[in-house]
Structure 1
């Protein structure tokens, strides 16, 4: 029973960490303020965002490697510092160069390290039968974050202005991630894996071999999956960065954060749902079903929110 409680504490602490740092999906609110209040151009607002997305993606692999070597706590501690520094100094340097470095690079680095740390720790506590479900729960926080971050950011900007709002968010992010860091750990050697009462009735076989990094990179499946996720993620990020303005121009939604919130809810549902589905039908079949939905919402996301489930 104690082992179960600890396992679920790690899962929901990881969920909390991702809830905090899912602010990337609320860039549309920040970018709208930059355009309206600071006369940034549409091109300028994309520079910090694109860099943050690129750094986020590129640093997940080294972040995961550091987590394997040192455990999740040191990596998350450094991430909390980077997240705080990135937002606080973005508020103090509200220029294209300032946001490009502090939001794009520093905060992007924090996201990459954070995203690659809680999920492996949580998965290690559970039987492989439940890997999809547990991963889905932990990473769903990243998708759900805009539900509160979007209106919070909008309110802070309205009350204090964008520079102060970014500083306040930086302090909050640091304190929350730093506190949750102490609750996330890998299980000790020999600890029995947690099995949920309802075991998935698999239509696939579990993998019988754990591949090393070099072995993985020699398989064609790795490059196929990487390509699928690259284009799927890129399609989504193109929409996210302009979502507030898209809602206003295409659907006459005056409160820009409302569309961000709708996106976040379906993003959350999709992460948990597809993670659970993968426990039943396999890791190979699931992306094949999900990717067509993922790519199609670039054209229809404003009018068909159900396509946001991937």
Structure 2
């Protein structure tokens, strides 16, 4: 590193030190990001509420109808993450995440007023549309922010960041079931207390969000470039603009990988409590507890696969993620033994979470971290597509006749076919999609000579 760069970095660090109250060290920010993700990750406990809504004691809805609010949430995540990803580059991570957290909490609280079967629209509007939009705004912020703070270990750190999202149901599933049991005829009342708790946690966590000083980020990136694994940090492949990334086939291939992984995993997550009861004979309370335990694997998978992807490579990791899910989906409708069901479900949850732990750093590796919030935010359309298709497809395939074998087998076969995608996906060539950027002209000419 040059003396002038060190001097500049020291000056920036000094200024940042004077603003320490506003910009704490990166480990404090990581802890706060995990707290925030824990709050919004409660969405993965939906199967507990879905099962309660289907009860004749409550609203008596069909599986398909009970899946709609969850599908709408996941459908709105893309819109929220797109808005949040673009806004955080202009307004900073704190204000965007805080606004998104307030919107999400309001949506959940609104859902608590849908106290009878005729108020389906309010549950969809509050929990689904408003809550989903706010969730998307919050979700994308820590992912983009932490890649800037930790350019030296992107897979592991983004895995940790989104692990909190996976762990969210660990708390919400048993707490939600306890709240439902207090008012079984109106299970939506649980959302009032949950929404208030989310609001408090989100306001506390997002208060500490901040981007690193520009000099500090540049220093970390330069130091990382000394490692042979980070040689592309100084190549023309880095820092694609959003429109440049969208002109590459790689963006669409990565989005398709995410879509297929989400479709596979969410098909179990959406009906986890009911499947545990109907296939393996779990009681209602045991099924709710299982959903909470499985959330540990959802969260743990994000860390595990994020770390593994740094070791073995991104596409081999996605090949494993899709392959394991496919095999387990084919086996799980035949798992009448409670332990076997739990093991297969845990593997699916681990791989489902793994895609979210691996894809942000993959996007950063392919397109650079400068605009990764907006680029990955757009890629989350795959989450929304899979999140809408998966629950509705599995609910329609299972039907009132509880045809779990047909449902999981069809989705398992689709996932096997999807394993082709990582095999044909490669990083963009030097300067791909960036020919129009004059600031990349030199890199483009160098890349052309190299090829």
Common fold by TM > 0.5: yes
Identify which of 246, 250, 256 aligns with 1:221. 250
**Offset, 1:298:** 3.1
Over the aligned positions, Cα root-mean-square deviation in angstroms equals: 2.6
Range with bigger deviation, 33-42 or 172-181: 33-42
Pairwise mapping of residues 109-124 of structure 1 onto structure 2 (< 5 A)?
Answer: 109-124=133-148
Which entry has the higher C-alpha Rg, 1 or 2?
A: 2
Contact map agreement 1:58 1:112 (CA 8 A) in 2: yes
SS of match in other structure, 1:40: coil
Q: Deviations over 1:163-211 (max 9, x none)?
A: 331100011111110111111111122125569xxx9x87685453111
Match of 2:190 in 1: 165
Alpha-carbon distance in structure 1 between the residues aligned to 2:268 and 2:156: 27
RCO comparison, higher one (Cα < 8 Å, 6+): 1
Given candidates 46, 49, 56, the residue that maps to 2:77 is 56
Aligned equivalents of 1:18 and 1:296: distance in 2? Answer: 29
Provide the rounded CA distance (Å) in 1 between the counterparts of 2:228 and 2:274.
43
Partner of 1:25 in structure 2?
Answer: 44
Match of 2:122 in 1: 98
1:170-209 alignment to 2 at 5 Å? 170-191=195-216, 206-207=232-233, 208=235, 209=238
Q: Give the distance between the partners of 1:291 and 1:90, measured in 2 at CA.
A: 34
Question: Does structure 1 residue 7 correspond to structure 2 residue 26?
Answer: yes
Give the CA deviation at 1:259.
2.4
Aligned to 1:154: 177
2:231 and 2:319 map into 1 onto residues whose CA distance is 17
The residue number in structure 2 matching 1:144 is 167
Q: Which residue of 1 aligns with 2:366?
A: none
Partner of 1:234: 263
Q: State the partner residue of 1:298.
A: 329
**Aligned equivalent of 1:248:** 277
Q: TM-score, normalised by structure 1?
A: 0.90
Distance 2:192 2:92 in 1: 29
Give the drift of 1:264: 1.1
Which residue is 2:132 aligned to? 108
Tell me, yes or no, if the aligned pair for 1:26 and 1:146 is still in contact at 8 Å.
Answer: yes
Q: 1:50 to 1:144 in 2, by over 3 A?
A: same
Structure 2 contact 98–138 (Cα < 8 Å) conserved = no
Distance (whole Å) between structure 1 residues aligned to residue 282 and residue 250 of structure 2:
42
Determine the C-alpha separation between the residues in 1 that align with 2:216 and 2:269.
41
Which residue of 1 is the match for residue 356 of structure 2? none
Query: Bigger CA drift: 57-66 or 133-142?
Result: 57-66
Aligned to 2:299: 268
Aligned equivalents of 2:327, 2:129: Cα separation in 1: 30
Note the residue ranges of structure 2 that are not aligned, 5 or more in a row: 1-12, 333-340, 352-451
